[in-house]
Structure 1
Amino acid sequence: MTRICVAGGTGQVGREVVRRAVAGGYGVAALCRHPLPAGAPARVDGAEYFPADVTTGEGLAAALAGADVVIDCLEGRSGKDLKNFADGGARLLAAAQDADVSRAVMLSIVNCDRSSFGYYASKAAKEQVYERSGLDTVVIRATQFHSLLAAMFGAGSTLRIIPVIKGARFQPIAPADVAAALLEAALEPPAGVRHSVRTVGGPEIQEMEEFARQWKAVTGSSGRLVRLPLPGAMGNYLRAGLNLVPEERHAGETFSGWLAKNADSL
């Protein structure tokens, strides 16, 4: 039986990978920084959970023991996690090589190497670590998640506004669809290419205002749509359309479909 180690197996995409892999009959080791108690919402029956920390290397050997492939869904959003994100990837890959893992698949962001925004730049730096690795590696670059837009709208609605970034269009994708792409890349037979970068985009491209209207209809928010400028690196990235990959629209869950499924938690 193929055994898959999912680094960041309790995160938004990681737990979807774990669910799909368990449902497919694969052995699954989920690597997470903090142990999960039995019955925790992020825990999937049938998977083994290992406390491990890529910033120190502690616990990696146990989590990777017997694994055939590792899927890296880790995030480093702020502070030391962001600063050490690429180094953590190097530790994970080194431990994977020591454990005789044959392939590593990393979750990344479309055109992250064309933005100076810190979070995106850290993803690009980690991609370079994967490219230099001696393992068979695949980087899956995804467009922004449906949940990102929902979080932005929800945060603004607490002030009775729904923010819409001027000049921004989005191509959001469901975390479950990204998880499917990661798992597919992890399980496909060797193609004779040591490193590859692939892109997966959401099924539709629309103005941010249209997505805001959909969110408002589902949530019943009384907030007013307000168009706001977004300065800095992230604003430049969005206005340049670098978050869009029109040639890589993948069939999957639309924003409205995702909203309907998650209406109770919005």
Structure 2
Amino acid sequence: MALRLPTQLATRGTFHHHHNNNSKSTMTAALSWRRTLSPDTPLIHSSTSLTTKKSYVQQMVTCSASGSTQAVNLAPGTPVRPTSILVVGSTGTLGRQIVRRALDEGYDVRCLVRPRPAPADFLRDWGATVVNADLSKPETIPATLVGIHTIIDCATGRPEEPIKTVDWEGKVALIQCAKAMGIQKYVFFSIHNCDKHPEVPLMEIKYCTEKFLQDSGLPHITIRLCGFMQVNVIYNS
């Protein structure tokens, strides 16, 4: 059974499919991706303002990860149905659309949601299972992956959080845990042309995550989305 995403969510995006049958793939203890720069060079970007004609230096994000994806199977013998998926970022603009479509297509949908004062009851009302975990707390992740065949990762951090907390450090923890748990497919939503704009922190992090996922050895699909709009409705009392 193939999950068909709404066409408007994938318009003008790019699609990359990777499958690695080498289960012994490992990564070095410290990983970093910095194009054209040596590992010890600060990642900065020099620009000139067109209005003031003054040069300035912009500090850019550095992506590095510790540890290895090679680990023992944390859930040996756990039955896994091909229709079982975990949606990470299921309360977001994109994530909730994926949940609805997957449920309509007959998938068994589990939604990873951070503990929150207002529970995501709408996901349960739709027929999904909700489990609490936080990507910034890696110890909460493994239990959510038991019995899961495919992870669909469309999560991103909150505006008030440091950009690396969820979008880099949390994703690294999730990918490493997925490898250890024997997840059979990982779907990652990235950004169109993220490899061409290292000066934009989120785009650089997305590109680094693509590379980390590729090096992990997990069978995965990367979908580079173009921008999409979010509609907020405010009612006046």
Fold match by TM threshold 0.5: yes
Mapped partners of 1:99, 1:120: distance in 2: 28
Mapped partners of 1:39, 1:129: distance in 2: 30
Pick one of 72, 86, 90 that aligns with 1:9: 90
TM-score by length of 1: 0.51
- What code does the residue aligned with 2:103 have? V
Pick one of 146, 152, 168 that aligns with 1:65: 146
Report matched runs for 1:88-103 at 5 Å: 88-103=170-185
Indicate the residue corresponding to 1:31 in structure 2: 112
Is 1:53 the counterpart of 2:130 in the alignment? Answer: no
Mapped partners of 2:171, 2:131: distance in 1: 17
Whether the 8 Å CA contact 2:113–2:130 is kept in 1: the answer is: yes
Whether the 8 Å CA contact 2:91–2:120 is kept in 1: the answer is: no
Closer/same/farther in 2, CA of residues 98 and 11 from structure 1, 3 Å limit: same
User: SS state of the match for residue 13, structure 1?
Assistant: helix
**Residues 200-239 of structure 1: CA distance to partner in whole angstroms, max 9, x if unpaired?**
xxxxxxxxxxxxxxxxxxxxxxxxxxxxxxxxxxxxxxxx
Indicate the residue corresponding to 2:40 in structure 1: none
TM-score by length of 2: 0.57
Deviating beyond 6 angstroms after TM superposition, the runs of 4 or more aligned structure 1 residues are: none
The structural deviation recorded for 1:77 is 5.4
User: SS state of the match for residue 146, structure 1?
Assistant: coil
Pick one of 225, 231, 234 that aligns with 1:142: 225
CA RMSD of aligned residues (A): 2.5
The structural deviation recorded for 1:114 is 1.0
Closer/same/farther in 2, CA of residues 27 and 37 from structure 1, 3 Å limit: farther
Structure 1: unaligned runs, 5 residues or longer: 152-261
- What code does the residue aligned with 1:67 have? I
Report matched runs for 1:178-197 at 5 Å: none
Whether the 8 Å CA contact 1:77–1:119 is kept in 2: the answer is: no
Structure 2: unaligned runs, 5 residues or longer: 1-80
**Residues 12-61 of structure 1: CA distance to partner in whole angstroms, max 9, x if unpaired?**
11111111111111111101212585674455521111111112213211
Indicate the residue corresponding to 2:214 in structure 1: 131
Report matched runs for 1:185-264 at 5 Å: none
Indicate the residue corresponding to 1:82 in structure 2: 163
Structure with a larger share of its residues in helix:
1
Closer/same/farther in 2, CA of residues 51 and 263 from structure 1, 3 Å limit: closer
Closer/same/farther in 2, CA of residues 126 and 36 from structure 1, 3 Å limit: farther
Q: Which has the higher contact order (CA 8 A, sep 6+)?
A: 2
Count of matched residue positions in the alignment of Structure 1 and Structure 2: 152
Give % identity: 32
The structural deviation recorded for 1:3 is 0.2
- What code does the residue aligned with 2:213 have? Y
Mapped partners of 2:205, 2:111: distance in 1: 23
